C-alpha cells in the first residue's frame, strides 16, 4: 500500500491525487495551505479563466494533447464538473506575426500560422478575410471548452474523496515535513512518495526553493454579461504586459475579461486603470457583449488578480530523492495548468510507479 502525500490543492495537486486514487492500493493524503473555496494571491487555480487554448509548441505539446480528450469528455458527458463547450476565435495581428516569424515573439504556439493543434480540434478552420475585425491579419476558429473553476475544483475534491483521499490543511516550511502527513491509521508508517504541486510557492518552499519560478501577473474583470464566443488576440496597443481575451464560464460562472501577462510582478490588488483598459478592449472587440452600450453596459461581478506560476525552462515534472524520500515534482505550469492537467498528472502516476520500483537508498 504505497503511502502518498500530495502537497497542494490547486488543479495540479487535485488532478494528480485523482488519477493516483484510481489505483485502489494507493493511500493518499492531500495537504495544502489553500483549498477550493479560498481566494488568495498564493493560490492560482481559482483565478484562471479557464479555457483550452493550446500554448505549447509542437515539441512540447504532449501535456495539452493528452489533456484535451478528457476535458472534452467532461464537457460532453459530466455536467456536474462545470465545463462547457464553446466556440473560440484566435486572432493574429500582422505586427505580431512579423515578430513571431523573426523569433522575437514571447507567446508560444497559440498564434503560430498552421499550428500543430489544428489536428486536435475536429472543427478547426481558418477564418476568411471578411470574418476578421479590423487590424487583424488572420485567425482561426474551433470549438474549445471553458471551465467554471468554482465548480470544477470542488468536483475534483469530491472525486478524490469518493476514492478515499483524505484532505488536510497544513502549511509546510520544508518539503520533508510532508512525511508527517500520511493518513489511514498509518501515522507510524513511512510516507513512500511526496507529490510537490505547490505552484508559484515552489519558489519559497524549503528543500525546493526553485529560483526559476516567477509570477506572471494576470488581472481580470468578471462580468455578468454573456459572451457569444471566446476570443483572444495576439497583442494590444495598450500598456506593455496587456493582453486581450474573453471567455464565458460554464453554468453561470460569469464572463472573464482579460487581462495582463506581467512577468515578475507580485502585486495582488487590481489596478483601476488596467481594469478600465481591459473593459474598453472587450467592448470594442465584441460590442454585443454589452448590447452596444460600451463599458457602461458591463455588469461587473468582481475584479481579480492571479499569479501564473511561470518557470524558466518550463514545467518541472520529475522525481528527486530529498532526505531519503522520493518527491515527484509537478509545478511551473504558467498559463496552461488546466489545459495540461491530465497529461501532467498521468506523468506523475508514471513517476510514482518508477519510484516504487526503485530500491530504497
Ligand atoms: P496553485 O493553484 O497555486 O496551487 C498550489 C497549491 O499548493 C495550493 O493549494 C497552495 O495552498 C499549496 N501550497 C503552496 N505552498 C505550500 C506550502 N508551503 N504548504 C502547504 N501548501 C502549499 N490555465 C489554463 O489552463 N487555462 C486558462 O485559461 C488559464 N487562465 C488563467 C488566467 C489567469 C488570470 C491566471 C492567473 C492563470 C490562468 N491559468 C490558466 C493558469 C492556471 O491557473 C495555473 O497554471 C494553475 O492554476 C496552477 O495550478 P497549481 O495547482 O500548479 O498551483
**CB of 13 shorter than 6 A to ligand 1:** yes
**CB of 309 shorter than 6 A to ligand 1:** yes
Contact between residue 196 and residue 202 where contact means Cβ atoms under 8 Å apart: yes
Q: Report the distance separating Cα 168 and Cα 183, nearest Å.
A: 10
Q: Report the distance separating Cα 106 and Cα 285, nearest Å.
A: 23
- Atom in ligand 1 nearest the alpha carbon of residue 331: 52
Amino acid 98: pLDDT: 87
**CB of 44 shorter than 6 A to ligand 1:** yes
Cell numbers given for 24: 485502489
Average pLDDT over residues 333-350: 98
Amino acid 59: pLDDT: 86
Average pLDDT over residues 58-62: 90
Contact between residue 342 and residue 11 where contact means Cβ atoms under 8 Å apart: no
Substitution site in 72, 210, 308 for ligand 1 pocket (most atoms within 8 Å of beta carbon): 308
Reply yes or no on whether the pLDDT at 346 is more than 90.
Answer: yes
pLDDT tens-place string over residues 249-284: 999 999 999 999 999 999 999 999 999 999 999 999
pLDDT tens-place string over residues 27-48: 999 999 999 999 999 999 999 9
Q: Report the distance separating Cα 177 and Cα 206, nearest Å.
A: 10
**CB of 216 shorter than 6 A to ligand 1:** no
Amino acid 107: pLDDT: 63
Cell numbers given for 62: 504532449
Contact between residue 86 and residue 144 where contact means Cβ atoms under 8 Å apart: yes
- Atom in ligand 1 nearest the alpha carbon of residue 216: 36
Average pLDDT over residues 299-313: 97
Reply yes or no on whether the pLDDT at 232 is more than 80.
Answer: yes
Average pLDDT over residues 17-26: 96
Quick check: ipTM above 0.95? yes
Amino acid 359: pLDDT: 46
Amino acid 360: pLDDT: 43
Q: Label residues 333-342 b or e (16+ Cβ within 10 Å = b).
A: bbbbbbbbbb
Amino acid 140: pLDDT: 98
- Atom in ligand 1 nearest the alpha carbon of residue 198: 7
**Ligand 1 centroid, distance to 331 Cα (angstroms):** 9
**Ligand 1 centroid, distance to 361 Cα (angstroms):** 33
Reply yes or no on whether the pLDDT at 231 is more than 60.
Answer: yes
pLDDT tens-place string over residues 69-125: 999 999 999 999 999 999 999 999 998 988 888 877 766 789 999 999 999 999 999
Average pLDDT over residues 221-239: 97
Reply yes or no on whether the pLDDT at 182 is more than 90.
Answer: no
Q: What is the dihedral of CA 131, 143, 64, 133, to 10 degrees?
A: 20
Average pLDDT over residues 244-250: 98
**CB of 7 shorter than 6 A to ligand 1:** yes
Amino acid 53: pLDDT: 97
**Ligand 1 centroid, distance to 9 Cα (angstroms):** 9
**CB of 329 shorter than 6 A to ligand 1:** no
Contact between residue 168 and residue 30 where contact means Cβ atoms under 8 Å apart: yes
**Ligand 1 centroid, distance to 293 Cα (angstroms):** 35
**Mode of pairing for the β-strands spanning 3-7 and 27-32:** parallel
**Ligand 1 centroid, distance to 212 Cα (angstroms):** 16
Amino acid 106: pLDDT: 62
Task: Please calculate the CA angle 93-97-102 and round it to the nearest 5 degrees.
Answer: 155
Which DSSP symbol is given to 128? P
Which residues on adjacent β-strands are paired with residue 139?
Answer: 91
Average pLDDT over residues 155-160: 98
pLDDT band at 184 (very low <50, low <70, confident <90, very high): low
* Listed range (19-28, 63-72, 95-104, 145-154) with the worst mean pLDDT: 95-104
pLDDT band at 187 (very low <50, low <70, confident <90, very high): low
| Average pLDDT across the chain, whole number | 95
Kindly report the protein residue whose alpha carbon is nearest to atom 44 of ligand 1. 337
Q: Label residues 135-155 b or e (16+ Cβ within 10 Å = b).
A: ebbbbbbbbbbbbbbbbbbbb
**CB of 149 shorter than 6 A to ligand 1:** no
**CB of 45 shorter than 6 A to ligand 1:** yes
All domains of the chain in start order, with CATH: 3-47+150-212+313-356 (3.40.50.720), 87-145+214-311 (3.30.9.10)
* Listed range (96-105, 140-149, 201-210) with the worst mean pLDDT: 96-105
Average pLDDT over residues 306-325: 97
Amino acid at each position: 500500500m504505497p503511502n502518498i502525500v500530495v502537497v497542494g490543492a490547486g488543479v495540479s495537486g487535485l488532478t494528480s491525487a485523482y488519477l493516483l486514487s484510481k489505483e485502489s492500493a494507493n493511500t493518499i493524503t492531500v495537504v495544502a495551505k489553500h483549498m477550493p473555496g479560498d481566494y488568495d494571491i498564493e493560490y492560482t487555480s481559482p483565478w484562471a479563466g479557464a479555457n483550452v487554448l493550446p500554448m505549447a509548441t509542437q515539441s512540447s505539446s504532449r501535456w495539452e494533447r493528452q489533456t484535451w480528450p478528457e476535458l472534452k469528455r467532461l464537457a460532453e458527458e459530466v455536467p456536474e464538473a462545470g465545463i462547457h463547450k464553446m466556440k473560440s476565435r484566435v486572432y493574429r495581428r500582422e505586427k505580431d506575426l512579423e515578430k513571431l516569424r523573426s523569433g522575437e515573439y514571447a507567446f508560444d504556439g497559440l498564434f503560430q500560422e498552421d499550428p500543430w493543434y489544428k489536428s486536435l480540434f475536429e472543427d478547426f478552420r481558418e477564418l476568411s478575410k471578411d470574418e476578421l475585425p479590423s487590424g487583424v491579419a488572420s485567425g482561426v476558429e474551433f470549438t474549445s471548452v471553458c471551465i467554471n473553476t468554482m465548480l470544477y475544483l470542488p468536483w475534483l475534491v469530491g472525486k478524490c474523496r469518493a476514492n478515499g483521499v483524505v484532505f488536510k490543511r497544513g502549511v509546510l516550511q520544508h518539503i520533508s515535513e510532508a512525511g508527517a502527513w500520511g493518513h489511514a491509521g498509518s501515522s507510524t508508517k513511512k510516507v513512500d512518495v511526496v507529490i510537490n504541486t505547490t505552484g508559484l510557492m515552489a519558489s519559497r518552499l524549503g528543500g525546493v526553493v526553485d529560483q526559476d519560478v516567477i509570477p506572471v501577473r494576470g488581472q481580470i474583470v468578471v462580468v455578468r454579461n454573456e459572451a457569444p464566443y471566446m476570443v483572444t488576440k495576439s497583442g494590444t496597443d495598450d500598456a506593455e504586459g496587456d493582453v486581450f481575451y474573453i471567455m464565458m464560464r460554464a453554468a453561470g460562472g460569469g464572463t472573464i475579461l482579460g487581462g495582463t501577462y506581467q512577468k515578475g510582478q507580485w502585486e495582488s490588488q487590481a489596478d483601476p486603470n488596467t481594469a478600465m483598459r481591459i473593459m474598453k478592449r472587450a467592448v470594442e472587440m465584441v460590442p454585443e457583449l454589452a448590447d452596444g452600450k460600451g463599458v457602461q453596459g458591463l455588469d461587473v461581478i468582481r475584479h481579480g488578480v492571479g499569479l501564473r506560476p511561470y518557470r524558466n525552462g518550463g514545467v518541472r515534472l520529475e522525481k528527486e530523492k530529498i532526505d531519503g524520500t522520493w518527491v515527484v515534482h509537478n509545478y511551473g505550469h504558467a498559463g496552461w495548468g488546466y489545459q495540461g492537467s491530465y497529461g501532467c498528472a498521468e506523468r506523475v502516476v508514471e513517476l510514482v510507479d518508477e519510484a516504487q520500483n526503485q530500491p530504497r537508498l
